[in-house]
Amino acid sequence: MHLEKRILITGGAGFLGSHLCDMMLERGHRVLCVDNFFTGTQQNVDHLRDNPRFELMRHDITFPLYVEVDEIYNLACPASPIHYQRDPVQTTKVSVLGAINVLGLAKRTKAKVFQASTSEVYGDPSVHPQTEDYWGNVNPIGVRSCYDEGKRCAETLFFDYRRQHHLSIKVARIFNTYGPRMHPNDGRVVSSFIVQALRGEDITMYGTGQQTRSFCFVSDLLDGFVRLMDSPDDVIGPINIGNPSEFTMIELADLVIELTGSRSKVRHLPLPQDDPRQRKPDITKARDLLGWEPRIALREGLQRTIAYFDRQLTAAGT
């Protein structure tokens, strides 16, 4: 039995955050879920409302938070280009000011603090697959920079707080993740392809479809988070958490069409600015230091995700 802790999860009503709330409650902890509902939804955590160990607080993490906690998972930030480009200044603020505020809270409460960083810190990589010691190839003034550079600055802050204030920190770099509770209109490729296929619409393919991504199912990713948080203090990160199986966008579209039984056709559109050509994690560190690697294959994960979106669309009557 784990010792009960009070755990703060910022962005806790989002896709990843809500699943992490579930996991922490299942492990016997108390959970303070903080979200401003910019992309998160109350629906994602409605099933937890009656749990006496769960608390939901509406709060914007760009403002300080005064609570008593034992551990912090900082997940607050829109993660899809459609959402983070809607208000790019706020995206940078939530990455940078949000990091300052959770680090200040961790310093005061002596809490261990986890940063959900991103593979976007590598930009459009010139090294493949990406290892944690690769410094990245990021455009500092492009339309994706608010997210890419915001997350890079957050990592800087985490490491400086550790060096300057001896904080206990953990930093994970998340690669493409998918699963139930993804936002249906977030513009991310898995959710977009599934929703379009279920509706019988054309599947929107940017560029030739030969660009690659690596897709990690949400339960695998969160297993990596918890293993990193529970690891010895000298295991800090950054550590890549993602699935090293690489797929082209055409392969993904074909698999979604097959699994949904859809008659959708693929429609090609111009590639967005600074869209990475390839993305694949080197997870050697995660394997060696955490004993972690993903277990759920893309086909199985897509089947679960399609079933979720099918229920959502049916309930919405679309």
Quick: pLDDT tens for 55-88.
999 999 999 999 999 999 999 998 777 778 888 9
Q: Give 274's pLDDT tier (boundaries 50, 70, 90).
A: low
Residues designated as active site: 147
Q: Is residue 192 assigned to a domain?
A: no
Q: Is residue 211 assigned to a domain?
A: no
Residue 283, both tokens: 């997870």
Identify any residues that bridge with 203 across adjacent strands, giving them in sequence order. Answer: 266
Please tell me the distance from the alpha carbon of residue 110 to that of residue 69, in angstroms, as a whole number: 9
Q: Is residue 250 assigned to a domain?
A: no
Residue 276 has what pLDDT?
67
Please tell me the distance from the alpha carbon of residue 298 to that of residue 300, in angstroms, as a whole number: 6
Q: CATH number of the domain at 172, please.
A: 3.40.50.720
Cα-Cα-Cα-Cα torsion 54, 66, 68, 25, nearest 10 degrees, comes to: 20
Q: Is residue 70 assigned to a domain?
A: yes
**Which residue range is the domain that position 18 belongs to?**
6-177+217-242+281-294
Report the domain count for the chain: 1
Q: Is residue 251 assigned to a domain?
A: no
Closest CA to 283 of 272, 275, 291: 291
Residue 318 has what pLDDT?
64
232: left (phi over 0), alpha (psi -120 to 50) or beta: beta
State pTM to two decimals. Answer: 0.93
Please indicate whether residue 38 or residue 110 has the higher confidence score (pLDDT): 110
127-165 burial, b for 16+ CB within 10 Å, e for fewer?
Answer: eebbebebebebeeeeebbbbbbbbbbbbebbbebbeee
CA count, 13 A, side-chain hemisphere, 101: 21
Q: Is residue 129 assigned to a domain?
A: yes
Residue 278 has what pLDDT?
76
Closest CA to 5 of 37, 33, 29, 39: 29
- pLDDT above 70 as % of the chain: 97
Q: Is residue 276 assigned to a domain?
A: no
pLDDT digit string, tens, across residues 105-152:
999 999 999 999 999 999 888 888 999 999 998 999 999 999 999 999
Q: Is residue 300 assigned to a domain?
A: no
Closest CA to 215 of 108, 103, 299, 311: 299
pLDDT digit string, tens, across residues 84-102:
888 899 999 999 999 999 9
What integer is the mean pLDDT of 216-229?
98
Residue 187 has what pLDDT?
77
For 5, residues 6+ apart whose C-beta sits below 8 A from its C-beta are 29, 30, 70, 71
8 A C-beta contact, residue 155 and residue 117? yes
